[in-house]
Structure 1
């Protein structure tokens, strides 16, 4: 059994305990901005040299799977195909997952991408039928973005309905990612959490249990919004997405606050992919999620490991210990 499944069963049964928090690595950046999405290669001084090749990216993913601290590895279906052929997931309790759609708000192309050019539009590259036939795995990520525009949101909801039918027909389970609006939509920043919560809960209200997501991937809009959603329906397991890279303190602080205020899953992409040492970042994330370290303690420990291994940090310890993301500052741990 995949570790994710066992943990979800405990969470839904009301038996969550430290150690049951689910951590996913979102290595699906090639569905957005493929070449930078592989992450940086740095020199001995920590300066950027180049981006990883696809082969180097797949090697890094394989190392993280074999480390056996993650619960889910999310990748594109084309990379999942190669990883499965190479036996990366063989006998592993880490569950493979693939990004099942690629809406326009995640389209990235240097220098600026498409994300802010207009309301999110639904689009799906992957074929669930082909993925099912190839037996690559049966857990997909579906994302949706509400923008307070009737026509745009209707198109997104209709596409979500079509996806659920397609997933059921092909034996695919999914988790649901909901982003904050990708364009200015007349909602005050303080109200975005309520807007996302209501749209998220409403879009699932007419969905039977068999077609509901395994869990959510959801932006952290502060403790109040997270607590509201997490307590609304205990069967709806809430997970937080990582957002931007930020500092190492931001990474651990988000994980700590998410668990404290009701999230039971964290799905971090850039916060892992841009780390100086991804394996050590994941190890410290696990320690914070399991209550073995506080965020600032984990930052200091992570830097000590980098020093021991002769890896130059991108930021000094002092700079890396600062909480820079505004949504985290109000509830930052001591």
Structure 2
């Protein structure tokens, strides 16, 4: 039976001892001497640690120190949106951790094509450092997400796909169900050796970068990323039936049986994004009535053009503050990468 360790951790200053305790509860005693251990944080964009958008640097430090003391060759890597890995890591406080611990910070700019033996989506391009690591340690952040509704361990692995190739997946897997199925296929293939969730501070509402900052005060660990996501959803009273990523993981027997160990944090409720998932299940013509579409808030927009450049279908024209809704696939990438929360959600009849 899988184990998911969930421990109370109200402050980052003590997260190292909590993570070490969690590893003991999981009986994670692998001999990692001389092995390549890649830490994959959530490094979505160049945001400061107090924004709760990225994995906190103290989580990265704690995990890196634990594996270094076990004799592993540790590195840190991710593929942020719109900026280089080093630029995002510098703002997020992770670059300084890597420098202090003398561990490499690696770019995910060298894709390798892989073909999966099972799943709906079988052709992926994955960053070479991920494939060459002996152990991948998935350092996720507890947040909500405008497309997938939640982003825990499974969603964090999407960062193993390099750069602009992520945009291609938003174009290929255009709705919540298809995108969630792709994430499940990817996670099943990558199968991280360990997933650690930074829930000391997190985000709900219209995440993953412009939601409400919350203070869950937990860290969670598991060898099985699907079990961890399932357990966290239970803790935060998220209905699996309403979140395709969670529901399909159960239906496809990826979650399995698991037990929760730790000090039993108090259950809470996670406020999901206001984007409407009903349209995913309905007929196509209903999409215009029940789905919330992105709209540019002219008062907040600073014309950085991040949204315009990253839109996978080229639907955004910042010169006119206009979104072409005949092209828009409601992937919400524009909202995800906006640094000023200048993308709001509206139903079509209110636009």
- TM-score bin (small chain): 0.3 to 0.5
TM-score (normalised: structure 2): 0.31
Q: Which has the higher contact order (CA 8 A, sep 6+)?
A: 2
TM-score (normalised: structure 1): 0.32
Structure number with higher helix proportion:
1
Structure number with higher strand proportion:
2
